[in-house]
Amino acid sequence: MLFLIMTALLILPVLIILATLIYKGGPAISWEFLFDDPREGMTAGGIFPALVGTIWLVAVALLVSVPLGVAAALYLSEFAPDNWFTRFINLCIINLAGVPSIVHALFGVGAFVLFFGFGTSILAASLTLAIMTLPIVIVATRESLQAVPLAFREACWNMGATRWQTIHRVVLPNAVSGILTGVILEVSRTTGETAPIMFTGAAFFLPFLPTSVFDQTMAMSLHLFVISTQVPGVPDHLPYGVALVLIAMVLTMNAASIGLRMYLRGKKKW
């Protein structure tokens, strides 16, 4: 009974947050709010540049981290011998997952903004996000690869399949649901991150849409931070509206992830 109550308590914060956001931010949501530029020093108008900017950041981060992460997981799960080097890599991945996001931000400034000379840009910010979320993709992919029974691989090898043919024909098709789940988790995490992008590519106020990855951009998460704390005279409903849109994006992603997993598990073949 006690445990039931404690479990029920877990739902409370979620409900309170959602209820508050919908109650206070709901009235702010409108066609103009979503598709208009911010005006009058961000105290009025919409969030369109930030919305588009967040999509850019997430998309570019995915383009980098998904191929890299899936390839790394494939190597670790299917090819790597069990030696000190592999164990060292695994240790690094775990540690990478534990690095605070502000440290990632400073790393991003040093590596991408300054050393590689990308400047503060979508590219630098997305690369920082990609590095930060790489462990999510790697761990999710590796786990779903290892969930494919060894007997399937052996059956394939005995037929004269190469390692790569085995992966391509048998292992990957059966691991793809887990990999997709990991990717969507990564998307929802990337969407909400603020610290890694604030020094590397996200702009305080920039009412234009980015045209290339070398532009700066606004982003939802940073915009929320800015109008809640840095700009005087913002009407109350604006930050709540931004927060509501942000959380709606993340929850939609999570729901999609759960739905996809349920759909693919229904089709699970063994």
Partner 1 sequence: MNDQGVATILETSQPATAAKGPVKLAVHNLSISYGGTPALVGVDLEIHENEIFGIIGPANSGKTSFLKALNRMDMFNPAMQVAGDILFNGTNIRQWRNVYALRRRIGVVFPLPVGLPMTVYDNVALAPRLSGVNRKADLDDIVERCLRRAALWDEVKDRLDSLGSLLSGGQQQRLTIARALSQDPELLMLDEFSIAVDPVTTMRIEDVLKELRTEMTIILVTNLTQQARRLADRTAFFLTGSCVEIGDTEALFTGNVQDTRTADYIAGRFG
52: alpha, beta or left? (left if phi > 0; alpha if psi -120 to 50): alpha
Minimum CB separation of residue 269 from partner 1 in Å reads 3
Sketch the per residue contact string, 84 through 103, with partner 1: x for CB under 8 A, - otherwise: --------------------
In this structure, which amino acid lies at residue 88? F
Find tokens 């109550």 and name the residue. Answer: 5
Position among 13, 81, 117, 232 found at the interface with partner 1 (CB under 8 A): 81
Q: Which of residues 95 and 165 has its CB atom nearest to partner 1 in the complex?
A: 165
Does the protein bind partner 1 through residue 30 (CB under 8 A)? no
Q: What is the DSSP string of 151-197?
A: HHHHHHHHTT--HHHHIIIIIHHHHHHHHHHHHHHHHHHHHH--HHH
Among 31, 84, 88, 270, binds partner 1 (CB under 8 A): 270
Burial of 212 from C-beta contacts in 10 A (0-12 / 13-18 / 19+): exposed
Binding mask 151-180 for partner 1 (x = CB under 8 A): xx-xxxxxxxxx--x---xx--xx------
Minimum distance between the CB of residue 75 and partner 1, rounded to whole angstroms? 16
Q: Which two tokens stand for residue 186?
A: 């990564």
Summarize as ranges the residues that interact with partner 1 (CB under 8 A): 81-82, 151-152, 154-162, 165, 169-170, 173-174, 269-270
